[in-house]
C-alpha cells in the first residue's frame, strides 16, 4: 500500500486508538488530505470499509490513486458538513463505527504558493480549499466593508489590531486590488504596531480569513449536528483541532451529549430520562514533545474522543 507522505499525519497512533478500530467496521475519514490517517486505518482493517471525503480536488486525486489499489476504500469530493447525505446515499445511517476529522489545512495546501494560503510564499490570494466553488480571499477583500473585515479578523484570528488592519486593507485596495499573498501580508504587517515575538504579523489575519472563506466553523458544527445519526451504537468520534475556536465547538458538543438534556440540577430526573447520547472517552490529548519537535504543525493540536451510547 502506498503511504503518501506529503503531509505528516498528526497524532496518528492516538487517533487510531481513539477510533477503537474493528477489523470489519465501517469508518469515515472526513478530512482525507494526503491519506496519512486513511492509510493507517486501512492497514488495521480486514473486511472493513473506509469512506473518505475532502473539499480539495487535489486531495481527491491523491485518494483516487489509493482507491485503485484498495477496494475497501472510496473517496468523494465534498464537505464533511454533508456526511449525513453521503451516508444516506450508501444506506449506512446509524452503521458507521468511527468518524475521524483532522481539521484545518494540509501541508500541500500551505506549501503550494498558487493555493494562496501562505504569507511566506507569493501567490494569488485564493485560500479556498475547494478552488472551484465560493469566493476567493481576494474577491472577498475587494468588496467587504471595514466592519465586516475587522469582525472576521477579531472573531477568527483574535487579532487585537483588527480595526487598524481592516482600515489599511480598505485604503490599500483603493490604490490597487489586493490579489497576492505577499501584498496582503505587507499591508497587515504595516498596520500591525506590535508584532508578537517569533510570529509573523500576518499569522492571525491569514488564519482568520482562511477560516471565514472556507466556513470552517460552520462546517464543523453542521457535521457534529449529524454525528449521532451517522454513528452506530458504540461508534467513535475522533476530532483533531488546531484552533481554540474549533476545539471549543468540539468540547461543548461532547460535553452536552455526555450530559444529556438540560434540567435544573436539583430536579430529581432519572438518568434514562436525561437522554445521554454519548460518552466522553478520556481527556483531551495533546501531541508529545517528540512529535512537536519532529512536526511543528502538531504544536497546537488537541484530540478529543467520544463514543455513541447504545
Ligand atoms: C489537516 S489536513 C488532513 C490530513 C490528513 N489527515 C492526512 O493525514 O493526510 C485537512 C484536510 O481536510 C480538508 N478539509 C478541511 N475542511 C473540510 C471540510 N469541511 N470538508 C471536507 N474536507 C475538509 C482539507 O482540504 C485538508 O485536505
Query: Which residue's alpha carbon is nearest to atom 27 within ligand 1?
Result: 33
Domain layout of the chain by residue ranges: 12-107+216-308, 130-213
Q: Model's pTM, two decimal places?
A: 0.95
Query: Which residue's alpha carbon is nearest to atom 3 within ligand 1?
Result: 33
- Residue with more model confidence, 185 or 276: 185
Share of the chain above pLDDT 70, in %: 98
φ, ψ (nearest 5 deg) of residue 155: -70, -50
Mean pLDDT across 164-181: 97
CATH assignment, 12-107+216-308: 3.40.50.150
Ligand 1 closest atom vs CA 34: 9
Q: Which residues line ligand 1 (CB under 6 A)?
A: 7, 9, 30-31, 33-37, 53-56, 59, 79-81, 102, 104-106, 129, 219
Give the Å distance between the CA of 269 and the centre of ligand 1: 41
**What digits encode the pLDDT tens for the residues 55-103?**
999 999 999 999 999 999 999 999 999 999 999 999 999 999 999 999 9
Q: Are 12 and 34 in contact (CB under 8 A)?
A: no
**What digits encode the pLDDT tens for the residues 58-71?**
999 999 999 999 99
Choice from 33, 51, 207, 227 to test ligand 1 binding pocket (greatest atom count within 8 A of CB): 33
Fold of 130-213: DNA polymerase; domain 1 (1.10.150)
**What digits encode the pLDDT tens for the residues 211-264?**
999 999 999 999 999 999 999 999 999 999 999 999 999 999 999 999 887 777
Ligand 1 closest atom vs CA 129: 25
- Residue with more model confidence, 98 or 6: 98
Amino acid at each position: 500500500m502506498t503511504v503518501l507522505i506529503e503531509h505528516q499525519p498528526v497524532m496518528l497512533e492516538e487517533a487510531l486508538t481513539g477510533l477503537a478500530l474493528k477489523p470489519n467496521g465501517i469508518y469515515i475519514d472526513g478530512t482525507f488530505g494526503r491519506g496519512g490517517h486513511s492509510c493507517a486505518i486501512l492497514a488495521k482493517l480486514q473486511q472493513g470499509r473506509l469512506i473518505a471525503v475532502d473539499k480539495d480536488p487535489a486531495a481527491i486525486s491523491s485518494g483516487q490513486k489509493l482507491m485503485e489499489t484498495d477496494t475497501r476504500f472510496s473517496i468523494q469530493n465534498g464537505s464533511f458538513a454533508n456526511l449525513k447525505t453521503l451516508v444516506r446515499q450508501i444506506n449506512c445511517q446509524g452503521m458507521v463505527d468511527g468518524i475521524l476529522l483532522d481539521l484545518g489545512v494540509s501541508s500541500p495546501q500551505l506549501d503550494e504558493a498558487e493555493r494562496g494560503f501562505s504569507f511566506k510564499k507569493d501567490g494569488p490570494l485564493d485560500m479556498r480549499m475547494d478552488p472551484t466553488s465560493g469566493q476567493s480571499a481576494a474577491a472577498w477583500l475587494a468588496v467587504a466593508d471595514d466592519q465586516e473585515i475587522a469582525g472576521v479578523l477579531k472573531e477568527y484570528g483574535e487579532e487585537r489590531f483588527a480595526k487598524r488592519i481592516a482600515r489599511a486593507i480598505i485604503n490599500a485596495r483603493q490604490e490597487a486590488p489586493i490579489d497576492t499573498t505577499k501584498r496582503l501580508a505587507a499591508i497587515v504587517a504595516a498596520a500591525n504596531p506590535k508584532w508578537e515575538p517569533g510570529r509573523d504579523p500576518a499569522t492571525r489575519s491569514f488564519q482568520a480569513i482562511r477560516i471565514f472563506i472556507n466556513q470552517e466553523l460552520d462546517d464543523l458544527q453542521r457535521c457534529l449536528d449529524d454525528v449521532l445519526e451517522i454513528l452506530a451504537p458504540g461508534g467513535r468520534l475522533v476530532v483533531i483541532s488546531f484552533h481554540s475556536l474549533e476545539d471549543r465547538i468540539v468540547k461543548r458538543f461532547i460535553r452536552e451529549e455526555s450530559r444529556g438534556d438540560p434540567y435544573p440540577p436539583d430536579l430529581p430526573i432519572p438518568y434514562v430520562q436525561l437522554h445521554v447520547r454519548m460518552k466522553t472517552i478520556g481527556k483531551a490529548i495533546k501531541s508529545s514533545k517528540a512529535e512537536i519537535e519532529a512536526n511543528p504543525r502538531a504544536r497546537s493540536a488537541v484530540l478529543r474522543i467520544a463514543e455513541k451510547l447504545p
